[in-house]
Amino acid sequence: MLLAFDYGTKKIGVASGNALLGSASPLPALPCKNVQPDWDKVTALIEEWQPEVLVVGLPLNMDGSESELCQRARKFARRLQGRFGKPVWMVDERLSTREARERTGIHHADPKVDSMAAVVIAEGYLGGSEPLAP
């Protein structure tokens, strides 16, 4: 069991993943306040799902370089690791939002797209994408 996160400054998409089945399902997105995650909601989610591993998408630019959002996502990943003591990995999430929009048919800002992007991130991890340290 894993939880995957599509980190954003306004909301964080979330998905649960099952390594045995190699699949993932979207969960409700988590709100952010002043670009900060609602840690009480993150804690409740982790207590409810009891994941063995946490996966955070790394929003690299198309040329592979890192943006400011990458640094924020890395900070979020390190905080997850520090707060919950679980293994945390990052995976390249380039084009995950595009794929999430195709899967959902939603082409505007919507929390369902963020959580579907987390599904794409989880599936990438489960499918053998190179995991990166936070």
Q: What is the token pair recorded at 15?
A: 């998905």
Q: What integer is the mean pLDDT of 54-63?
A: 95
In this structure, are residues 39 and 83 in contact, taking their beta carbons and an 8 Å threshold?
Answer: yes
User: Tens digit of pLDDT for each residue in 72-117?
Assistant: 999 999 999 999 999 999 999 988 989 999 999 999 889 899 999 9
Q: Say whether 47 sits in a helix, a strand or coil.
A: helix
What does the domain layout of the chain look like in residue ranges? 2-60+67-126
pTM reported for the whole predicted model: 0.94
Q: Considering only the top CATH level, what class is 2-60+67-126?
A: alpha beta
> Which of 76, 77, 75, 69 is closest to 97 using CA atoms?
69
Q: What Å distances lie between residue 4 and 24, 31, 63, CA to CA?
A: 9, 15, 24
50 pLDDT higher than 90? yes
Specify the residue for token string 């924020």.
Answer: 72
